[in-house]
Amino acid sequence: MKNVLFLFGLLLLACPHSHSQFRKDPVLNLQTEDLKLLNWGYYLGFNQYDFQFEYENDIGEDILVDKSLGFNVGLIGELRINEFLDARFEPGLLYTQRVLGFPGFTDPVDALREVRSTYIRFPLLLKASARRFGNWKPFVTGGVYASINLGSKEDSLDDNSSGEFRMKQRVYGYELGFGIDIYTEYFKFSPSIRGVFALTDELVPDNDPNSPWTGNIDGMRTRGFFINFTFE
């Protein structure tokens, strides 16, 4: 997490005209940008997804999750409500990978499960902004999302006894975040950090209710964060 935040800071400082945006009396760019009723853009970014497990019996070791960086890409549609509030629809594609380590096994074939997920996401968010200061403006954002996991394998007849880890295809949750709008000469650049929290249980249990992989899992929900870079 520290390395990702460090990367976020470096990219913020390296963004176009970043130093000039924070001067005391900068030349104001895109002065009518926030007056439009509708605004459009796109975003690119990184993600790191984790799982939060809930267990039926608090015995033995927890399931370990080895996380890696994934990527996000998507579009933005924004509706201006007033000077400080906007409604946003940010459909996008997200790829992430996690490796689960199950305790109690000596053979890595049984102990490890690689979970690759490609999500199509449909977030509906509210963006609350502060008053503009020169060429920058901080904001917070939050809302709900629905997503489709294209790699879920929910309908597969195989389960962990055959090496297949299954997840539900549809996921619902909410996200919260903060960022800065930076007004450059030609476009608005907005780096942000988002926390993502699934509300629905994503696990498809094994066929055997006493499965050594899923028998003790009462719930499995995604937790993660994004670093997005928006261009509008």
| Angle subtended at Cα 169 by Cα 167 and Cα 174, rounded to the nearest 5 degrees | 100
pTM of the model: 0.83
Measure the CA–CA gap between 73 and 164, rounded to whole angstroms.
28
pLDDT at 31: 76
Which amino acid does the sequence have at 192?
Answer: S
Element (H, E) at 42: strand 38-55
CA 29 vs CA 57, 176, 181, 189: distances in Å: 58, 28, 12, 12
pLDDT in tens, the chain (232 residues): 555 555 555 455 545 454 554 555 668 887 777 888 999 999 999 999 999 999 988 877 899 999 999 999 999 999 999 989 999 999 999 999 999 999 988 899 999 999 999 999 999 999 999 998 889 899 999 999 999 999 999 999 999 999 999 999 999 999 999 999 999 888 999 999 999 999 999 999 999 999 999 999 999 999 999 999 999 8
Architecture of domain 36-231: Beta Barrel (2.40)
